[in-house]
Amino acid sequence: MNQEQSPERSAETLLFVDDDANILSALERLFWPQGYTILTATGGEQALALIEKQPVDLVISDMRMPQMTGAEVLEQIRCKYPDTVRILLTGYSDMSSTIAAINRAEIYRYIAKPWNDEDIVMIVRDALERKFLRAEKQRLEVLTLQQNDELQALNSSLEDKVRQRTEQLRCALKLLDDAHEQLKKDYFTTIQVFANLMELRRGTMAGHSRRVAQLCRSIADKMQLPETEIQTVETAALLHNIGKIGLADFLLDKPYAELSQAERAKFNLHPLRAAAALLALDPLREAAELIRHHLENYDGQGNHSGLSGDNLPLGARILHVASDYDALQQGLISHDKQSPEQALNTIRNGKNMHYDPNVVDAFCEMMLHAGSYSRVVTEFQVSSSQLYEGMLLTRDVVTDNGTLLLLSDSQLNAGHIRQIREFEQSSGELLTIYTNSI
């Protein structure tokens, strides 16, 4: 935007018009010391010729002149040069002509002869000051309009730039959010796959962690825990058996009830080993704490930490219920596998001793209304030959022995389809695949 400064005020030009040379000399002597540029004319025609060649700021014209009166001269000057200040010299006998000049020539002032030197100097000075201020006002008004136009154009340009930048930021944030969501999804997928690899060691463990994780999420949701806490207990459930990697095979082959006292002491160390292995990973610190305490009893009996009741982490109390419920049905606790109803009764009977009563109540109510926790999705069972890219899985793709191949909500690509078909061909097993379209 232009930053114009007020122009310096140069010496003004005065034009004196009178057919009397003595009058012209007197005016010239009076105003020359004031620093003005002085022009003189002995008649109207000469005055008009001078002002046409050189700009004049102020004209003092006598009223009575031959050929053209002062009123006529000033009237023409008004028409051609309206910004030039016009002053009329007149005698007392010319009052009627003076009034006509005031109306027609729109003179600034009239000065009666003989004049007072101080008065006429002051009148001229005030007239020129007024003219300068009026010109400066007009200049500033024009400058203001120009700057307003420039400012409006600049604002419009800035608004466009802001809109463009905002859109760029929105797109960048969208990409960042998408990348963050994909990272979280990949992170959770990695944990699920890792949990699945651990369970491949013994067939009796297959699918246990994923089932427990689903139960933990449902219980935590039923208890209205925040989503961050639900995700933590779900992650802990997927990894709660990681400490069993270092256990001897015979400790995993027997149900817990058939282990000797010494064997149980070794087996019971797996939550501590799992927690120790995970503590080095900052994102898994909270999950590691839940795993550490997930086998400890609510009443505190036999707990290695000395904690009991509500001093135990809530997520660990939830994990204890969910893990034992599934383990009872898989024969991991006692040799005889329990039905879902029997396992639920066992959990209920352990209330206030092994298990948190609030967690048990929430779990029992959830199981009573299990249908309301089922996700309603229109789905179709398809074979591997019906798969195509872009198809969305509505359930995990799991082998007969519990190996997880693909997660639900995965969108199939060419690599997924090839993986499924190669597995079926090499294993001779037909996979059960569910999708939302065919």
* DSSP at 411: B
Q: How far apart are CA 438 and CA 436, in angstroms?
A: 7
Report the number of distinct structural domains present in the chain: 3
Taking residues 339-358, report their average pLDDT.
Answer: 94
Is 434 a member of any domain? yes
Q: How far apart are CA 14 and CA 37, in angstroms?
A: 6
344 and 391 together in one domain? no
Is 151 a member of any domain? no
Q: In CATH, what number is assigned to the domain containing residue 241?
A: 1.10.3210.10
Alpha-carbon separation of residue 313 from 107, 286, 298, 324 (angstroms):
99, 10, 10, 17
* Helix axes 208-222 and 227-239, enclosed angle (nearest 10): 160
Phi, psi angle pair for 296, to nearest 5°: -80, 145
- 78-104 pLDDT per residue, tens: 999 999 999 998 875 566 667 766 777
Q: In CATH, what number is assigned to the domain containing residue 52?
A: 3.40.50.2300
Q: In CATH, what number is assigned to the domain containing residue 433?
A: 3.90.105
The neighbouring-strand residues paired with 112 are 90
Share above pLDDT 70 across residues of the chain, in percent, rounded to a whole number: 87
254 and 344 together in one domain? yes
Q: Which of 322, 357, 374 is the last residue of a domain?
A: 374
pLDDT of residue 377 exceeding 50, the answer is no
pLDDT of residue 389 exceeding 70, the answer is yes
394 and 297 together in one domain? no
67 and 119 together in one domain? yes
335 and 265 together in one domain? yes
Taking residues 67-77, report their average pLDDT.
Answer: 91
290 and 324 together in one domain? yes
Is 298 a member of any domain? yes
Share above pLDDT 90 across residues of the chain, in percent, rounded to a whole number: 39
Supply the mean pLDDT for the chain.
Answer: 85
Q: Is the Cα dihedral 422, 427, 433, 438 positive or negative?
A: positive
Closest CA to 355 of 316, 304, 306, 302: 316
Q: Specify the pLDDT at position 373.
A: 36
209 and 346 together in one domain? yes
Is 52 a member of any domain? yes
Q: Which residue has the tokens 């005698």?
A: 91
Is 186 a member of any domain? no
Taking residues 411-432, report their average pLDDT.
Answer: 89
- Which position has the higher pLDDT, 52 or 405? 52
Q: Specify the pLDDT at position 40.
A: 96
Q: How far apart are CA 241 and CA 200, in angstroms?
A: 12
Alpha-carbon separation of residue 386 from 379, 381, 382, 394 (angstroms):
14, 10, 6, 15
Whole-prediction pTM value?
Answer: 0.52
- 142-163 pLDDT per residue, tens: 888 888 888 888 888 888 888 8
Q: Specify the pLDDT at position 345.
A: 94
Taking residues 190-196, report their average pLDDT.
Answer: 65
Q: Specify the pLDDT at position 227.
A: 92
Is 215 a member of any domain? yes
Q: Specify the pLDDT at position 1.
A: 46
Q: Specify the pLDDT at position 108.
A: 85
Is 147 a member of any domain? no
Q: Which pair of tokens denotes residue 37?
A: 């540029």
Q: Specify the pLDDT at position 372.
A: 37
Taking residues 107-115, report their average pLDDT.
Answer: 87
Residue range(s) defining the domain that contains residue 221: 200-374
116 and 253 together in one domain? no
SS3 380: strand
352 and 227 together in one domain? yes
Q: Which residues does 85 contact at the CB level (< 8 Å), separation at least 6? A: 57, 58, 59, 108, 127, 128, 130, 131
Alpha-carbon separation of residue 36 from 39, 43, 44, 77, 104 (angstroms):
10, 21, 21, 20, 28
pLDDT of residue 212 exceeding 70, the answer is yes
Q: Which of 104, 120, 137 is the last residue of a domain?
A: 137
Taking residues 402-407, report their average pLDDT.
Answer: 78
Q: Specify the pLDDT at position 6.
A: 54
Is 217 a member of any domain? yes
329 and 386 together in one domain? no
Q: Which residues does 355 contact at the CB level (< 8 Å), separation at least 6? A: 298, 317, 320, 321, 324, 347
213 and 305 together in one domain? yes
Q: Which of 112, 137, 162 is the last residue of a domain?
A: 137
82 and 126 together in one domain? yes
